[in-house]
Amino acid sequence: MEGRGIARYGHAISCERIKVTEAAHPVADDMGEVGVQQRLDLLHTLKSDDQVICLLSGGGSPLMALPTDGVSVEDKTSINTQLLASGATIHEMNCVRRHLSKIKGGGLLRYCGNAKVSTYLVSDVTGDDPSVIASGPTLPDNTTCKDALEVINRLKIQVSDKIRQKLLIGELETLKCGNPIFDRTSEPVNQPSSML
């Protein structure tokens, strides 16, 4: 058994079989991308009879910064900083984050091959919606590019013309319920942080 983890600076602990990378929170930095790439490198070694256990908690979204094609870490940092300053809700912030990421909104499953995936969550969001916790890297997303663009426009978030166009034409769409990729995932186990 082997694992990879990402924690805020100053919060990593030494683990025997899990390599932990530290990254920035609440605004992503390039170490978040390094941590995600280490996860993907490990996932590339999976066999079809392997089991992936994904442990997620609140705050995971900025720690797992792997922008989608055409979006830079600098773009995501700028957009996230603006969202934080705008008073956006966590649901609004994560809607935008999911659509600018390779791995959020179910995208991590694209790297898991045929392995079975189980997700365990510790919620810190109102309503405990699993897809909002860490932006749901192993879960279907019920928001759309149109929703993300609506948040950006309403809150007057400055984005490049390139990103705006990608959202406008739906090029950055996330994975939805009914996609066969979710057939190899089990129902997420969700624990509200208030119960810990």
User: Residue 191: how many CB atoms within 10 A of its CB?
Assistant: 13
pLDDT at residue 146 tops 60: yes
Tokens of 147: 């929703």
pLDDT at residue 100 tops 70: yes
Strand partners, 165: none
Tokens of 184: 């190899």
Task: Compute CA distances 31 → 63, 160, 173, whole Å.
Answer: 8, 23, 25
Residue owning tokens 């928001």: 143
Strand partners, 66: none
The pTM score is 0.90
pLDDT band at 194, cuts 50/70/90?
Answer: low
Smallest CA-to-CA distance from 19 within 32, 38, 34, 37 is with 38
pLDDT band at 192, cuts 50/70/90?
Answer: low
Higher pLDDT, 140 or 1: 140
pLDDT at residue 82 tops 90: yes
pLDDT at residue 111 tops 80: yes
Tokens of 66: 């792997």
pLDDT for residue 148: 98
pLDDT band at 195, cuts 50/70/90?
Answer: low
- Cα–Cα dist 195/192, whole Å: 6
| pLDDT average, residue stretch 29-46 | 92
Catalogue all structural domains in the chain, each as residue range(s) with its CATH number.
Answer: 48-195 (3.40.50.10180)
Question: What rounded mean pLDDT belongs to the chain?
Answer: 91
End-to-end C-alpha distance for the chain, whole angstroms? 26
Buried b (16+ CB within 10 A) or exposed e, 165-186: ebbeeeebbbbeeeeebbeebe
pLDDT at residue 127 tops 80: no
pLDDT for residue 170: 97
